[in-house]
Amino acid sequence: MQQKASLPCPNVGGVSGLHFLPNDPADLVRAMRKAMEPMMHEGLVKALPQPSTAREMARRYLDFFDEALLEPV
């Protein structure tokens, strides 16, 4: 049995993404159509995280490099 792949969708109703079979265009279309259903689309949109501000993103980069420089090589 083939493992299903996931569309990169946020966790909606306990499901982390919409799943489809790899290399199966018809199954991908099915998942995309499911994402277009009004209630599903609304849930997916509501579950999207807020984007970071430029200041927040800069802080995260600085924190990452600060940690990386502290680690022994």
Rounded to whole angstroms, the Cα distance separating 69 from 72 reads: 8
Angle of CA points 59, 69, 66, to nearest 5°: 15
* Prediction pTM value: 0.50
Each domain of the chain, given as residue ranges in start order, spans: 5-70
For every one of its 73 residues, what pLDDT tens digit does the chain have, with 9 covering 90 and above?
A: 566 655 555 455 555 567 888 888 999 899 899 989 999 888 878 877 788 999 999 999 999 999 888 877 6
Specify the pLDDT at position 48: 76
Rounded to whole angstroms, the Cα distance separating 37 from 45 reads: 12
Specify the pLDDT at position 63: 94
Q: What is the DSSP string of 9-68?
A: --EETTEES-EE-TT-HHHHHHHHHHHHSHHHHHHHHHHSPPPPPHHHHHHHHHHHHHHH
